[in-house]
Structure 1
Amino acid sequence: MNGSDALAELFRLQEKDLELDRIREEQGNLPEDLKAARARWQSLEAELAKHQGDLREQEMEYRQNEAEIADLKEKLGRAKEAQRQAQGAREQTQYENVIQQLTGRYEELEGLNEPKFEEISRLEGEVERVKALMAEAKPKLEELEAANAARVEALEASYQGKLAERNALAATIPANLVKEYEAVRKSRRGQGVAKVARTGSGYRCMGCNVQLPMNIAQKVYQGNQIVRCPSCGRIMWKGE
C-alpha cells in the first residue's frame, strides 16, 4: 500500500471512528420525555423527604410535650393532695404557688400541642398525597427507563458491529500510521486526518481552515510522506 492509498484508508478509518463517536454520544443523550420523567420523580422524592422530615420533627416535639404534660399532671396531683393536707395558711400558699406554676406550664404545653397535632395531620396528608403521585408516576417512568435501556442496548450492538469493521480496516493500514493518527485524533476532538482544499489563494487545511505554505501543500500532493498541518498538527490528505 503506497502512501496515498494508506491516507485514503486512514480517512475512511476516521469516518468510522467519528461514526462510533456519534453512537456513543447518542447513547448518552437521554430522550426528552425520560429526562422530564426523571426530573419529576426527583422533585417528588425531594418533596416527600421534606414532608417526612418535617413530620418526624413535629411528632418528636409533640411526644416530648405529651411526656412533659403527663409529668405535670402527676406533679399537679401530688401538689393538690399536699395542699389539702397542709396545716397552715403559709404552707397552703406555698403549694398554691407551685400549683399555679405547674398549671401555667401545663396550659402552655397544651396550647402548643393543639396546633402541632393539626400540623401533624396536615403533614401526614401531604406525605400520602406525594406518595400517591409517585405511585401514579412510577409505571410511566419504568416504561421510559425500559425503552431507553433497549435503545442503548441496540446502539451498543450497532457500536460493537461497527467497531469490528473499524478494527478490521485499521489492520490493513500501517500500524505506525494508525498509532500517529490515534494520537492526533485524541488531542484534536476526534479528527486526526484533514483534507487539503484548493482555494483561489492557494491551499487550506480543512481541519483548522489555515492557509498552508506552498511547500507543505506540494508535499501533501506528492503523497510520498506523512505531512502534518503546521497549524493544527493533523495528518493531511489531498483527497480523492
Structure 2
Amino acid sequence: MVNVNIAGALADLYTLQEHDQELDRIKEQQEQLPPELVEAREKWAALSEQLAQLKERYLALQREYQQNDLEIKDLVAKRKQAEDEQLQSSSIREQTQYENRIQQLSTRIDELTELTMPILEEMERLAEQIKELELQASELKPELDSLEAANAERVAALEEEYQAKLVKRQEMAGSIPASLLREYETIRRARRGVGVARVKVQGGFYLCEACSVQLPTHVAQRVYQSQQVVRCPGCGRLLWRGPENEG
C-alpha cells in the first residue's frame, strides 16, 4: 500500500468510526427508558408485589377459617348427637357422662369460635386493602400501557434510523482495506467504541487523542510518514495524523 493510501484509509476509517459511534448512540437511546415509564413500571411492580402478598395472606387465612369452620360444624353435630342421646339415657351415670361430653364439646366450640373471629376480621381488612390496591392498579394500567406503546414507537423509529445508517456504514466500510477494518473493529470492541485516534500536538508534544499518552518522537514520525499503520503504545489504538496534516 502506498503512502497516500494508508493516510486515506485511516481518514476513511476515522470517518467510519464517527458513523459507528452514531450507531452506538442510537442503540444506547433505544435502551434508555423514559423516566416516566421507569416510574410507572416501578409503581406497577410494587403494586403487583403488594397485591400478591396480600392475596397470599388472605388465602392462608381463608384456609384456616374454613378448617376451623368445618371443625366447629363437626363439633356442633357431635354435641347435638350427645344431647339427643342424653335425653334417651336412663341412668344418672349416663346422663352425667353425656353432660361432661357436651361440656367438652361446647368448650372446644367456644375456643374455636374465639380463634375464628380475629381471622374473619383480618380477612375483611385484607379484602379492603386488596380492593384499594386493585383500584390503584386499574387506574395505573392505562397510563402504563400508553407509556409502553409510546416507548415501543420510539424504539421502532430509532431502529429504522439505525438500519438506514447501518446500510450507509456498510457502504463506507467497503472502501477500507479488509485487514485494516478487521483490526479496527477488534480494537474498537476492546476499547469502548474507539479503535482509531488522531494525534494531537499540545505544548510541543505529540499525544494520543484517545488516551492522552505522550507519543515517543519516533512513533509520531512514523504516524506522520504514513508508510505503515501505527498503534498507540499506551492504548493500542490505531493512530491517524489528522485532517490538518493530510494532503
Name the amino acid aligned to 1:10: L
**Residue 105 (structure 2) aligns with:** 102
User: How far 1:118 sits from its partner (Å)?
Assistant: 2.0
After TM superposition, the structure 1 = structure 2 runs for residues 1-150 of structure 1, keeping only pairs within 5 Å, are 2-150=5-153
Q: Secondary structure at the match of 1:236?
A: strand
1:55-95 CA-partner distances (Å, limit 9, x unpaired):
11111111111100110011101122222333333333322
Aligned length: 240
Residue 229 of structure 1 and its aligned partner are, at CA, apart by 0.7
Secondary structure of the corresponding residue to residue 207 of structure 2: strand
Question: Bigger shift: 121-130 or 230-239?
Answer: 121-130
Partner of 2:160: 157
TM-score between both structures, scaled by the size of structure 2:
0.94
Once the two structures are TM-superposed, the CA of residue 21 in structure 1 deviates from its matched residue by 0.4
Residue by residue over 1:92-128, the C-alpha shift from the partner in whole angstroms, topping out at 9 and shown as x without a partner, is 3322222221111100111122222222222222222
Which consecutive residues of structure 2, in runs of 5 or more, have no partner in the other structure?
A: none
For residues 215 and 100 of structure 1, the distance between their equivalents in structure 2, rounded to whole angstroms, comes to 107
- 3-state SS of the aligned residue for 1:98? helix
Q: Deviations over 1:179-212 (max 9, x none)?
A: 0000000110110001111122521111111111
Counterparts of 1:87 and 1:211 in 2: how far apart (Å)?
116
Report whether the alignment pairs 1:185 with 2:209: no
Letter in 1 for 2:162: Y
- Is 1:166 the counterpart of 2:160? The answer is no
Overall identity of the aligned pairs, in %: 49
What per-residue deviation string (whole Å, max 9, x for no partner) do you get for residues 1-56 of structure 1?
61101000000010010110010001000000010111111111111111211111
Provide the secondary structure at the position in 1 that maps to 2:200.
Answer: strand
What CA distance in whole angstroms lies between the structure 2 residues aligned with 1:66 and 1:136? 37
Question: Superposition RMSD on alpha carbons, in Å?
Answer: 1.2
TM-score by length of 1: 0.96
Aligned partner of 1:231 among 229, 234, 239: 234
Q: Aligned partners of 2:64 and 2:46: how far apart in 1?
A: 27
Task: Give runs of ≥4 in structure 1 deviating > 6 Å.
Answer: none
Pair 1:200 & 2:203 matched: yes
The answer for the alignment partner of 1:211 in structure 2 is: 214
Give SS of 2:198's match.
strand
2: distance between equivalents of 1:195 and 1:94?
105
Matched residue of 1:211: which SS? Answer: coil
Structure 1 stretches of 5 or more lacking a match? none
